[in-house]
Amino acid sequence: MDWIGGTFTSDAGWNHLERLVDIGNRMAGSPGEREALTATRDALDDLGARNAGVEDFGIQGWTRGTSRIETPDGTAECIALPRSPAGTVEAPLVDCGDGLPRDFADADLDGAVALVSAGVPDYYDRFIHRREKYYRAVEAGAVGFVFRNHAPGCLAPTGSVGTDADPLGPIPAVGVSREVGARLARRYAGASVTVGVDCETHRAESGVVRADIGPDTDRAVYLTSHVDAHDIAEGAVDNAAGTATVVEIARALLAQDADLDRRVRIVCFGAEEVGLQGSKREAELVAPDGIQAVVNCDGVCRGRTLQYYTHGFDALTAAVERVADRFGHPASVRPTQHPHSDHWPFAARGVPTILASSDDGDRGRGWGHTRADTLDKLERRTLREGAILLTALVADLASTDWIPRRDTATVAADLDAQDLAAGLRATGDWPFATE
């Protein structure tokens, strides 16, 4: 148990967190993302993980320019959504409220600019992703998209659009704060507004960090996170904290290296924020039977209670509950599918996967995807506690018997039953050849 006490006093994870946020812009394909990939490789290598390295891959690059919303009375502050195309449109502004499917069905968006909230009402059964709202607006005939934050604080949200087939979205898209969005809806609904986005598109390089811990077995537990972030902030919660937690888990696992029954492969992805490009590529490179389970850290450290999506695998739910009981620490378990973040390309192939995040009572992203996603929102204690729990979970899964894969037809049926399939189809992300 020395590793537990060591984690309570370790600064390995927190120091790496500070290293990542101090880089600043870690946008996919940027020099900052490259620096983050290299720094993460070096951190794992310094701890003693084997074969630490970075493998590059090409992506569609996108670099922010200026953006604007012009109203009859002046300009409104906004920021472009990554992978928005460059362009300017002038059209009537239509308020689509929360952006539920029925909101788009009820609105006349043909030739209009859609104004859509980032939030989802508590009464609605599922989370609706930004890209689903964007592509529903496109399908309804919108020529521009304005994404308004649902959280107060004068914080415009970011977040990418685009698909694998078409990395750049078809219509200009910008984000505005809750306060600006409310003013636009109140004053200019039905009036003509101009939305303009300037940006540069180019080929770029992202990458994936890999390293190994434990015995050199054929099958491995994958411990994952993403190193990239949006260019407008430090990306502390999303997802420097996730990668820092992975580094701290690696330190703790190396302290008990001899006790691991299976190899733990650490994989830290680039280009998550622009379509899960790193993890999609990785999932295609690895045979599903070569993976014991995936534990993906994204959104940890927001709160002290960890939230686990276990994707219909009873064995994973049981593992989470064993660890929670062992430490007498609450755990929020959701056995449902969650088709977002870097675990999903593996889950879609039937691989046992866990998304580890935080249950802080907020259905949205909190400070994530805004300028306020900064280091001051996080605490060392929370990172250390989460790392202890997740270290124990990874070690437990490394000693667990073979967990049967789920066939893709069952995964698809779950998505339909949980009202998630429609959103994936709307965004072109339905991962199955047949329905």
Torsion from C-alpha of 37, 40, 42, 47, nearest 10 degrees: -160
Supply the pLDDT for residue 391: 98
Give percent of the chain with pLDDT exceeding 90: 94
Q: For the chain, how many residues are written?
A: 435
Q: Is residue 396 in a domain? A: yes
Q: What is the pLDDT of residues 248-283, one digit of tens each?
A: 999 999 998 778 999 999 999 999 999 999 999 999
**Are 220 and 354 in a shared domain?**
yes
Supply the pLDDT for residue 197: 98
d(CA 246, CA 295): 10
Supply the pLDDT for residue 270: 98
Boundary (domain end) residue, out of 163, 190, 217: 190
**Are 145 and 238 in a shared domain?**
no
Residue 365 has pLDDT above 80, yes or no: no
Q: Is residue 410 in a domain? A: no
Residue 200 φ/ψ, nearest 5 degrees? -120, 140
Question: What value does the mean pLDDT take over residues 225-245?
Answer: 97
Q: Is residue 428 in a domain? A: no
Q: What is the pLDDT of residues 142-182, one digit of tens each?
A: 999 999 999 999 999 999 999 999 999 999 999 999 999 99
**Are 273 and 382 in a shared domain?**
yes
Residue 435 has pLDDT above 60, yes or no: no
Supply the pLDDT for residue 1: 64
Q: Is residue 197 in a domain? A: no
**Are 56 and 149 in a shared domain?**
no
Supply the pLDDT for residue 279: 98
Q: Is residue 317 in a domain? A: yes
| For residue 239, cis peptide bond before it (omega within 30 degrees of 0) | yes
Supply the pLDDT for residue 368: 86
- Which residue spans within 256-334 are E strands per DSSP? 263-269, 291-297, 306-309, 331-334
Q: Which amino acid is at 178?
A: R
d(CA 166, CA 107): 26
- Sign of the dihedral defined by the CA atoms of residues 367, 369, 375, 381, in that order: positive
Per the confidence metrics, is the pTM higher than 0.85?
Answer: yes
**Are 271 and 375 in a shared domain?**
yes
**Are 238 and 374 in a shared domain?**
yes
Q: How confident is the model at residue 433 (pLDDT cuts 50, 70, 90)?
A: confident
Mean pLDDT of the chain: 96
Q: What is the pLDDT of residues 337-363, one digit of tens each?
A: 999 999 999 999 999 999 999 987 665
Q: What is the pLDDT of residues 395-416, one digit of tens each?
A: 999 999 999 999 999 999 999 9
Cβ neighbours for 73, distance < 8 A, ≥ 6 positions apart = 187
Boundary (domain end) residue, out of 190, 220, 255: 190
User: Cα–Cα–Cα angle for 81, 431, 355, nearest 5°?
Assistant: 70
Q: Residue 261 belongs to a domain with what CATH number?
A: 3.40.630.10
**Are 102 and 249 in a shared domain?**
no
The domain total for the chain is: 2
Q: Residue 101 belongs to a domain with what CATH number?
A: 3.50.30.30
Inter-axis angle of helices 241-255 and 380-399, nearest 10: 60
Q: Is residue 108 in a domain? A: yes
**Are 237 and 151 in a shared domain?**
no
Cα-Cα end-to-end distance for the chain: 48
Question: What value does the mean pLDDT take over residues 21-36?
Answer: 97
d(CA 353, CA 344): 8
**Are 251 and 310 in a shared domain?**
yes
Q: Are 286 and 245 in contact (CB under 8 A)?
A: no
Q: What is the pLDDT of residues 59-73, one digit of tens each?
A: 999 999 999 999 999
Question: What value does the mean pLDDT take over residues 305-331?
Answer: 97
Q: Is residue 415 in a domain? A: no
User: Cα–Cα–Cα angle for 94, 95, 98, nearest 5°?
Assistant: 145
Q: What is the pLDDT of residues 104-146, one digit of tens each?
A: 999 999 999 999 999 999 999 898 999 999 999 999 999 999 9
Question: What value does the mean pLDDT take over residues 84-102?
Answer: 97
> Regarding beta strands 353-358 and 291-297, do their DSSP bridges make them parallel or antiparallel, or are they unpaired?
parallel
**Are 229 and 93 in a shared domain?**
no
Q: Is residue 246 in a domain? A: yes
d(CA 245, CA 383): 6
Q: Are 254 and 212 in contact (CB under 8 A)?
A: no
Question: What value does the mean pLDDT take over residues 210-233?
Answer: 97
**Are 209 and 317 in a shared domain?**
yes
Give bridge partners of residue 93 from the DSSP assignment: 113, 189
**Are 10 and 36 in a shared domain?**
yes
What domain range includes position 162? 73-190
